[in-house]
Each structure stands twice: as C-alpha cells, then as structure tokens.
C-alpha cells in the first residue's frame, strides 16, 4: 500500500492549513519561492526543507534559520536533519506549529469486502469515485475538520489529570 504524507501548519492568528507533501523536496519559509510560504516574522526566508527519503518518508532539515526548528520539543542541531514519524510535532521559529502525519492510501483489489461492521459492501475498482461530502451539499453548516481536531486536542490537554496546563 502506498503512503501519503501531510503537514498541518498553524501560524499565529490563522486557521490551520493542510499541505500534502508530494515532491522530492519541499521548502518552507517566508520568501515567495517556497512551496510552503509562511508570512511570519519569526520564520526565515528559507527556513527549512522536507526531503523525501529512500523509504518514502520525509527528512526535515533546518536551513540555518535564525529562530530554529524543533521536532517534538527538540531543536534540530544535526545538519542532516531528522526523519519524521507519524504524529511528530514541529515548531518553526517560536510561533508556527505543524503536525506531520502519514496515511495509507487505499489500494484497489477488484474484490468486494465489508466496508463497515454492518456488512455493507463496496466494490473496489481501479476507478476513483469522489463523493461530495461538503456540508453545503447536505444543507449543513460547514465545519473545518482540522480546526475541530486541533480543538479536541486542546480540550484533552486541558482536561483534569491530563498533565496539561
């Protein structure tokens, strides 16, 4: 099964933004030429880059940024960077946060298999089918799933006994 890698970036006073990492090299910084441009003073023009590894994951390298890059609270000091793992939290500078995650892309086998415990079946074929699951299509108020996930994590961290603030 193929894996895909993504980054959810949250800058101060901004909504979280989802970036799917698909290139061999993805740069992040304040300058316009970056694939991920973050217009925040604490971010260097060419702050860091993500390089695809031989195993298909991504290595994060700090490009000698002024305010540094941290992964799970540890400042990147090694010039060769660090290979990111699912769920790693990244801090660019002092204020821009990101969550790195991987997902397994569903492969099609041409056979039917249960989709849910209820026994519903889906026909897996090599044709991609997109369903408009937007709130507008269903006449409901739209909810940003990334913002909702972040809010749930913040609530969990603040819960009594969680070790949060």
Tell whether 90 and 122 lie within a shared domain.
Answer: no
Tell whether 78 and 43 lie within a shared domain.
Answer: yes
Last residue of a domain, one of 64, 84, 104: 104
CB 27 within 8 A of CB 35: yes
**Residues 136-155, mean pLDDT to the nearest whole number:** 65
Tell whether 59 and 75 lie within a shared domain.
Answer: yes
Residue 67 lies in a domain: yes
Tell whether 91 and 13 lie within a shared domain.
Answer: yes
Tell whether 154 and 128 lie within a shared domain.
Answer: yes
Tell whether 117 and 69 lie within a shared domain.
Answer: no
Tell whether 63 and 127 lie within a shared domain.
Answer: no
Residue 165 lies in a domain: no
The CA distance from 146 to 165, in Å, is: 22
Residue 78 has pLDDT above 70, yes or no: yes
Q: What is the pLDDT of residues 51-61, one digit of tens each?
A: 999 988 999 99
The CA distance from 76 to 62, in Å, is: 7
Tell whether 80 and 130 lie within a shared domain.
Answer: no
pLDDT band of 164, cuts 50, 70, 90: low
Q: Which domain holds residue 43?
A: 3-104
DSSP the chain: --EEEEEEEE-TTS--EEEEE-SSEEEEESSTTSSEE---TTS-TT-EEEEE-TTS-EEEEE-S-SS-EEETTEE---TT-EE--TT-EEEETTTEEEEEEEEEPPPP-SSEEESSTT--EEE--SS-------HHHHTS----HHHHHHHHHHHHHHSTTSS--
Residue 100 has pLDDT above 70, yes or no: yes
Query: What pLDDT does 112 receive?
Result: 53
Number of structural domains found in the chain: 2
Query: What pLDDT does 104 receive?
Result: 78
Tell whether 122 and 65 lie within a shared domain.
Answer: no
Tell whether 82 and 116 lie within a shared domain.
Answer: no
Last residue of a domain, one of 104, 128, 150: 104
CATH number at residue 78: 2.60.200.20
Tell whether 140 and 73 lie within a shared domain.
Answer: no
Residue 127 has pLDDT above 60, yes or no: no
Residue 158 has pLDDT above 80, yes or no: no
Residue 163 lies in a domain: no
């Amino acid at each position: 099964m193929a894996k895909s890698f993504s980054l959810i970036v949250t800058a101060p006073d901004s909504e979280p933004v989802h970036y799917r990492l698909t290139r061999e090299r993805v740069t992040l910084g304040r300058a316009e030429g970056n694939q991920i441009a973050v217009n925040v003073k604490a971010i260097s023009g060419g702050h860091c880059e993500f390089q695809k590894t031989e195993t298909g994951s991504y290595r994060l390298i700090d490009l000698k940024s002024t305010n540094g890059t941290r992964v799970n609270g540890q400042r990147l000091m090694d010039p060769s960077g660090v290979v990111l793992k699912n769920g790693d939290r990244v801090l660019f500078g002092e204020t821009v946060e990101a969550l790195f995650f991987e997902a397994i892309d569903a492969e099609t086998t041409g056979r039917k298999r249960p989709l849910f415990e209820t026994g519903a079946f889906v026909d897996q074929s090599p044709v991609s089918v997109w369903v408009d699951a937007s709130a507008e299509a269903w006449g409901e108020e739209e909810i940003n799933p990334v913002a909702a996930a972040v809010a749930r994590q913040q609530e969990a961290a603040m819960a009594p006994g969680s070790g949060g603030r």
